[in-house]
Amino acid sequence: MLVRDAMTTVVLTIGPDHTLRQAAALMSARRIGAAVVFDPDAGGLGILTERDILNSVGLGESPDTERAHAHTTTDVVFATPSWTLEDAARAMTHGGFRHLVVLDGDEPVGIVSVRDIIRCWAPARQPAPA
């Protein structure tokens, strides 16, 4: 199975000056765990995850004043739609992250998460064992 078969195709893109609260609200409304941050001044695309927001709040930083650019990962590993899910899982395991931005050329076309991969690999939903 390929990344294109598992990825979420609705990509939330935010700017570097969004506050963490704004980013969190947008992510929560869409029930997603990551946003692509487009910052042409910092080299293009980065990723802001729920973990980045959680770490900031855990340090006592204000989500109303902290900006996405200060918490964005810019050294991003990108996948392509033609990667296998094994390739994606290997990259996530090696890098210690749970989301991959999927690019077609230079354009973000999706995000694949650990949850997306598990959903594809796990059998159809069955009741949990008692």
pLDDT of residue 106: 87
Q: Averaged in consecutive runs of 10 residues, what is the pLDDT profile of the chain (130 residues)?
A: 94 96 97 92 87 97 96 92 97 95 93 94 69
pLDDT of residue 128: 64
This prediction's pTM:
0.86
Look at residues 58, 99, 104 and name the one whose alpha carbon lies nearest to residue 82: 104
| Helices 50-58, 20-30: crossing angle, 10 deg rounding | 140
pLDDT of residue 102: 97
Q: Domain map of the chain by residue range?
A: 1-119
The three-state (H, E, C) secondary structure of the chain, written as one string: CEHHHHCECCCCEECCCCEHHHHHHHHHHHCCCEEEEEEHHHCEEEEEEHHHHHHHHHCCCCCCCCEHHHCCECCCCEECCCCEHHHHHHHHHHHCCCEEEEEECCEEEEEEEHHHHHHHHCCCCCCCCC
The CATH code of the domain at 1-119 is: 3.10.580.10
Cβ-based burial of 81 (10 A; exposed 0-12, middle 13-18, buried ≥19): middle
Nearest-angstrom CA–CA distance, 21 and 17: 11
For 82-98, how does the pLDDT look when each residue is reduced to its tens digit (9 = 90+)?
A: 999 999 999 999 999 99
Structure tokens at 82: 């033609």
pLDDT of residue 127: 65
